[in-house]
Each structure stands twice: as C-alpha cells, then as structure tokens.
C-alpha cells in the first residue's frame, strides 16, 4: 500500500531534556523520522524543549516549536497547526506518555488528530503489566511469576506471603530506565525497595517478580507493517546477565553463545509478540534465557523506538526510525528502499559480518561519592559502540572510546585491589567490572572460578583472558617485538586491538618504534563497509570500520 493520501501534516514530539535512560538516541531517531516523513511529502511539525538537538534545526522540520512538553502547550500547538496525524513512538517514553495523555484528555479527538503507527490500545497492552501478562498468557509466551503492587499495604501483605520465589526483583511502572527498582533478598529489603518504587512511579505501582539473576539476557529489535509483514533487525546478547539493566550492560551484537535453535526460538517468540500486539513500526523485546535449557521468559516489550533501537540501527546499518516513520504513514516494508544498497528493500533482515560491542558510560568520575554498583536501575549516562572482525578488538576499541583513561584492559588502580575485593567486585557488578575480571585473570584465577561469581558466559570470559594473556606475551617478547621473532605476536596483538602505546609499555619500546616497525612490515589496518548484507550486495553508503584484515574498501 502506498503512502496514505489523507495524511499531510504530521506532528512529531521530541523527548525533551537528556536524562538517564533517555539521551541523544531519541534525537537521532526523531531527526531520522522527520527526514523520512518529509521524503514522503509530509509537512512536519516538531515540538521539543531541548535546544541541543538536531531535530530542532529549522531544516529538519517544516515547523519547529521549542516549548515545554506538557499537555497544555501541545494542545495549543495542535490548535494552531491542526495536524492530521501524530507519531507517538519516536520520542522515547516522554513522547509516548504525552501522546497517551493527549488522547486520554480527548484533545486528539477534539482536533481530529490521528495517532499514526502503533495504536494506543497496543501501547497500553505493552506498557500495562497486567494487560501485557494477560496477552502473553493468551498467546502462550512465558512470563515470570509476578505481582502488581499498588500500595504500601499490599506490599506488606506480599512480603508476609509464604512460598515466594526469593530473591525478587522490583520494577516500578512507567519510569525511565527502570529507575527506583532493585533486587530484594528478603521481606525487609522488599519493603524498602518496593516502598521507594511506589513513590517513584507516576502511577504508584511496582511489579515484584521472580528474579532471573544468572540467566542470559537477550534482546530482539523487530518491525511490523500494516500488512502484518514482520522482520527482526538485530538481536543482542548482554554480557552482564539478568539483574543488570540492559542500559547498564555490556552488549554484543549479534548474539555469540546462542545456537541457531535458541536464536530462532527467541526470534519466533519476538515476532509472535509484535504480531499479537499489532504494532505498526518498531518494537524491542527483552527475553531471559536459561543458560542450561531451552527455558525462557519474556521480560519486557517496548512498543516504540527505544534506546536499543539506536544501537541496533548503528550496529546493522538499518535505519529503524526512518522505516518506522514510513510505516506510520502507511507504507509497507516491501515498498521502502534499503538506502544502503539502493537495490534491495527495507524488507529483509540485516546480516552482520563483524562483531559489535557496546559499553555503557557511567558518570562516576564526576560523582565520586556515588554508589558505583550497577543494578536494575540504570545509572549510565551514555554509551559507546565499536565494530571489528573479532570480539577482542571490538571490546578494546570500545574501552578506548569510553575516555576513562584506559586504552586497554590495564586499569589504573587495579593492582591495588585486594584478592578479597576482587571476589566481592566480581559478585557485585560496578562500572569497573570488566577491569576486575581482567585483573582476576592477571592474578591467576580460572574461568571456572570467575564464572560462578559474575555469571558471564565462559565464552566472553575466555575472550577477556585472551586479552590478558596477550599482555604477558608482549612482556615476554620485550624488545624482540620489533624483530622477525616478534612479528607473529605483534600481528596477533594488533588483530586483538592492542594500541601501539600499550604494546610499547609492555615491551619496553617506544610507541614510535612500534609504529615505525609495524608500518615497515605493512601491518596496517584496512577499512570495511557496514552494508547490512555481509557483502552480498554492493553498498552505496560510506559507513566504515577499521580492522586488521587483508582487503580495504572505499
């Protein structure tokens, strides 16, 4: 079906100021959507209160309003502009909540504004825990045991109940980045965390449920159009297992430790969910997978473009917000061009031929007295992403991108940790966990000892160990690193993402000596293209990453 002819003026709501859990990714999504809507000939009216956004550039929309994101102000703009439609799913939770409020207040009806894309009833079904669980039970998708608590009295009653599956996880309803949540190991902790959650939730509601700590956390980014065609854009595996908010987790895309049977089982479940909800646009499904069986639970569904969508878009080259915006005005997936190839359509699933690592960036360098533990409440203020042909090198690039003074897994202060501190830090995740694991290997701990403490899959632990072992290999090599004898080690180190400076530090040479020798033997990086299709089709877009491989592309 081509673009709807009855939609001319479209309003887009931005996500307002940057806060934890809702940062620049929604500017990215909103800007992409504005461009996509204008491509389809729509007159775009944009509202946002945050001036430090690209979407509020006058070139991005036909009308830009920098106004408070409240129902009152939005009603005035609607009355003045009289848009035909409103896209609610591109401005994060703020945009979605406002669209819901405008609809509930009767304002959309009064001015004859249609909600485009995912219908309101769907949003309610995905966001309201009870409605969502009811739907999951209906379609046979498993959800963990869970209790909805709306008052301190109910909370007290629950805490006294027998046979609860302790520990329990507490998640407040409708809060950004799951703020106010936590894991309660006993009734006293449940009262404390639950009570705080009730006060933080805009609807004074928390969900208390079976805690799946130690299970793998996997996400799927899925899309659906009005013709019921569904595709997955990307799956992502969290290195940090369940218990750490995905926004605070290190993430790898695609999943690394799932066999095809597991990958497809979770993919099928995600598609079943987006279909049953009737979403028209993008959706993010979070699942927990038992590392020892095919058992899984559906954890959460975001019926909108989410924080993970930005990551998935850049990880795959697939513009999720752009396509979601086009779906909202009636286009089908097979009517939207894949701009990367220029030949194929947006209706396909990206194939990656590289590995993507995301590491969250926490602000603890600015807030030195803050609690550095990471839990179910998101604390990261940003994130970095890196692409490479191996996991080790992507991880090393991501570490350097963090700008925390670390250029490898060698971390300032790591040697000062006592062995007991290391054990505690492995058990209790903090922003330093990656470096703690590396230090544990440096001190001779085994994968089998570390895995039960931090619940990382051993595949990831071995990768971290590979990086630590390279430190000793380089030290052993010493000055020989710039001779024929050290060539293999140097090559392996570069492929693993070791920067010349670290190689110099470990071998006693200077960075300049390493670089000169390396260039002399032709050991230099090449650039490869992110093309959504693993080289099956020619790419038109100049989106590159570096790697130590043989062929460079331009």
Partner 1 sequence: MRAILALADGTVYEGEAFGATTTTVGEVVFNTGMTGYQEALTDPSYAGQLLCLTYPLIGNYGINADDVESKQIQVAGFVVRRLADVYSNWRANESLDGFLRRQGIPGISGVDTRALTRRLRHEGVMMGALGIGDVIADDLIARLNDRANAYDQIDWVRRVTTSKPYSWGPDEGSARFRVSVLDCGIKYNILRELAALGVRATVFPATATADQMLADDPDGLFLSPGPGDPALLGYAVDTVQAVAHSGKPVMGICLGNQLLGCAFGGKTFKLPFGHRGANHPVKDLPTGRVVITSQNHGYALDANSLPSDSVSVTQINLNDGTVEGLQHRELPVFSIQYHPEASPGPRDSTFYFERFIDLMEARR
Least distance between partner 1 and beta carbon 234 (Å): 10
Between 183 and 547, name the residue whose CB sits nearer to partner 1. Answer: 547
**Which is closer to partner 1, CB of 73 or CB of 459?**
459
354 binds partner 1 (CB under 8 A): yes
Kindly tell me which of 71 and 462 has the beta carbon lying closer to partner 1. 462
Which spans in 42-186 are helix H? 71-81, 92-104, 107-110, 120-127, 129-139, 152-159
| Alpha carbon distance 427, 433 (integer Å) | 9
DSSP character string of 178-193: GTT-EEESSHHHHHHH
Q: Are 277 and 135 in contact (CB under 8 A)?
A: yes
Q: How far is the CB of 532 from partner 1 (least distance, A)?
A: 9
Classify the C-alpha dihedral 442-444-448-452 as positive or negative.
negative
Which one of residues 125, 171, 245, 267 is an interface residue with partner 1 (CB under 8 A)? Answer: 267
User: Applying CB under 8 A, does 161 fall inside the site for partner 1?
Assistant: no
Q: Is 473 in the site for partner 1 (CB under 8 A)?
A: no
Q: Is there binding between residue 282 and partner 1 (CB under 8 A)?
A: no
CB of 499 to partner 1, least distance (A): 20
* CA within 13 Å, CB half, 84: 13
- Left (φ > 0), alpha (ψ -120 to 50) or beta: where does 7 sit? beta
Give φ, ψ of 441 to 5 degrees: -65, -40
List helix spans (H) across 278-357: 307-316, 320-328
Q: State which residue, 99 or 271, has the beta carbon closest to partner 1.
A: 271
Residue with tokens 């996500």: 15
Residue of 349, 423, 511, 513 that binds partner 1 (CB under 8 A): 349
Least CB distance to partner 1 at residue 265 (A): 8
Q: Which CB sits closer to partner 1, 70 or 264?
A: 264
Nearer of residues 204 and 344 to partner 1, judged by Cβ: 344
Size of the site for partner 1 (CB under 8 A): 56
Site for partner 1 contains 540 (CB under 8 A): no
Task: Figure out which of the listed residues 106, 444, 550, 554 binds partner 1, where binding follows CB under 8 A.
Answer: 550
Residues in CB range of 211: below 8 A, 6 or more apart = 165, 166, 167, 168, 169, 183, 242, 243
CA count, 13 A, side-chain hemisphere, 202: 10
Q: Does 491 bind partner 1 (CB under 8 A)?
A: no
Task: Work out which of 291, 452, 478, 542 binds partner 1, going by CB under 8 A.
Answer: 291
- Identify the residue among 132, 318, 348, 441 touching partner 1 (CB under 8 A): 348
Report whether 549 contacts 526 (CB < 8 A): yes
Cα–Cα distance between 367 and 73 in angstroms, integer?
35
Q: How far is the CB of 383 from partner 1 (least distance, A)?
A: 22
Q: Which of 292, 418, 420, 448 binds partner 1 (CB under 8 A)?
A: 292
Candidates 73-81, 99-107, 345-353, 497-505; binding stretch for partner 1 (CB under 8 A): 345-353
Site string for partner 1, 192-231 (x = CB under 8 A): -----------------------------------xxxxx
Binding segment for partner 1 (CB under 8 A), chosen from 82-90, 206-214, 302-310, 337-345, is 337-345
Residue 7: phi and psi, rounded to 5, are: -110, 110
Q: Rounded to an integer, what distance in angstroms lies between the CA atom of residue 482 and that of residue 485?
A: 8
The yes or no reply on residue 483 touching partner 1 (CB under 8 A) is no
State the Cα–Cα distance between residues 258 and 30, nearest whole angstrom.
Answer: 33
Binding residues among 520-539 for partner 1 as defined by CB under 8 A: 528, 533-538
> What six digits make up the tokens of 218?
């996997």
For partner 1, give the closer residue by CB, 266 or 380: 266
Does position 121 interact with partner 1 (CB under 8 A)? The reply is no
Residue 240 Cβ vs partner 1, minimum distance, rounded to whole Å: 16
Residue from 100, 204, 257, 428 in contact with partner 1 (CB under 8 A):
257
Strand 43-48 relative to strand 9-13, pairing: parallel
Please give the C-alpha separations between residue 66 and each of 33, 77, 94, 172, in angstroms, as whole numbers.
18, 11, 15, 30
Contact flag: residue 268 with partner 1 (CB under 8 A): yes
Cβ 150 vs Cβ 204: under 8 Å? yes
3-state secondary structure of 91: coil
First to last CA, the chain: 36
Of the two residues 103 and 265, which places its CB atom closer to partner 1 in the complex?
Answer: 265
Q: Which of residues 428-467 bind partner 1 (CB under 8 A)?
A: 457-459, 462, 466
Q: Which is nearer to partner 1, 74 or 453 (CB)?
A: 453
Candidate residues 334, 337, 403, 476; the one interacting with partner 1 per rule CB under 8 A: 334
Residue 344's alpha-carbon distances to 104, 229, 329, 406, 546, in angstroms, are: 41, 16, 21, 41, 25
Residue 349 Cβ vs partner 1, minimum distance, rounded to whole Å: 4
Contact residues for partner 1, defined by CB under 8 A: 227-232, 254-261, 263-264, 267-268, 271, 291-293, 332-334, 343-345, 347-355, 389-391, 457-459, 462, 466, 528, 533-538, 549-551, 553
């Amino acid at each position: 079906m081509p673009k709807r002819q009855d939609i001319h003026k479209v309003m887009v709501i931005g996500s307002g100021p940057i806060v934890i859990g809702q940062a620049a990714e929604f500017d990215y999504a909103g800007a992409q959507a504005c461009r996509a809507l204008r491509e389809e000939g729509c007159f775009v009216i944009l509202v946002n209160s945050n001036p430090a956004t690209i979407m509020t550039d006058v070139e991005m929309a036909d009308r830009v309003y920098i106004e408070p994101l409240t129902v009152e102000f939005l009603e005035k703009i609607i009355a003045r502009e009289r848009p035909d439609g409103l896209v609610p799913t591109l401005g994060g939770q703020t945009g979605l909540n406002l669209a819901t409020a405008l609809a509930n207040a009767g304002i959309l009806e009064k001015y004859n504004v249609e909600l485009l894309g995912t219908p309101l009833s769907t949003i309610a079904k995905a966001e309201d825990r009870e409605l969502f669980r009811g739907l999951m039970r209906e379609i046979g998708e498993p959800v963990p045991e869970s209790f909805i608590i709306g008052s301190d009295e109910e909370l007290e009653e629950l805490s006294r109940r027998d046979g609860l599956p302790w520990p329990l996880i507490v998640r407040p309803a409708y809060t950004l980045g799951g703020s106010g949540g936590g894991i309660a190991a006993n009734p006293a902790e449940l009262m404390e965390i639950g009570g705080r959650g009730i006060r933080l939730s805009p609807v004074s509601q928390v969900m208390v449920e079976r805690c799946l700590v130690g299970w793998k956390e996997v996400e799927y980014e899925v899309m659906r159009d009005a013709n019921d065609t569904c595709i997955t854009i990307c799956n992502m595996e969290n290195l940090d297992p369940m218990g750490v908010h995905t926004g605070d987790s290190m993430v790898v895309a695609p999943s690394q430790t799932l066999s095809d049977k597991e990958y497809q089982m979770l993919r099928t479940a995600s598609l079943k969910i987006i279909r049953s909800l009737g979403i028209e646009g993008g959706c993010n499904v979070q699942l927990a997978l038992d590392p020892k069986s095919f058992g899984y639970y559906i954890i959460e569904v975001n019926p909108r473009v989410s924080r993970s969508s930005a990551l998935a878009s850049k990880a795959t080259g697939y513009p999720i917000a752009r396509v979601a915006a086009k779906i909202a005005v009636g286009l089908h997936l097979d009517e939207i061009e894949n701009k990367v190839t220029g030949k194929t359509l947006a209706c396909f699933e990206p194939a990656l031929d590289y590995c993507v690592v995301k590491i969250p960036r926490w602000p603890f360098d600015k807030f030195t007295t803050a609690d550095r533990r990471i839990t179910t409440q998101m604390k990261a203020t940003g994130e970095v992403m890196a692409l490479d042909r191996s996991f080790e090198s992507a991880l090393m690039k991501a570490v350097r991108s963090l700008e925390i003074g670390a250029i490898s897994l060698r971390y300032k202060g790591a040697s000062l940790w006592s062995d007991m501190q290391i054990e505690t830090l492995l058990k209790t995740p903090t922003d330093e966990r990656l470096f703690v694991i590396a230090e544990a290997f440096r001190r001779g701990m085994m994968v089998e000892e570390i895995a039960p403490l931090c619940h990382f899959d051993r595949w990831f632990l071995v990768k971290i160990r590979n990086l630590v072992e390279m430190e000793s290999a380089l030290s052993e090599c010493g000055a020989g690193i710039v001779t024929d004898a050290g060539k293999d080690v140097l090559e392996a180190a570069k492929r693993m993402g070791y920067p010349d400076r670290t190689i110099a530090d470990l071998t006693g040479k200077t960075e300049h000596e390493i670089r000169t020798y390396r260039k002399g033997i032709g050991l230099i990086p090449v650039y490869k293209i992110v093309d959504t299709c693993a080289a099956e089709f020619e790419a038109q877009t100049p989106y590159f990453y570096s790697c130590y491989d043989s062929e460079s592309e331009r």
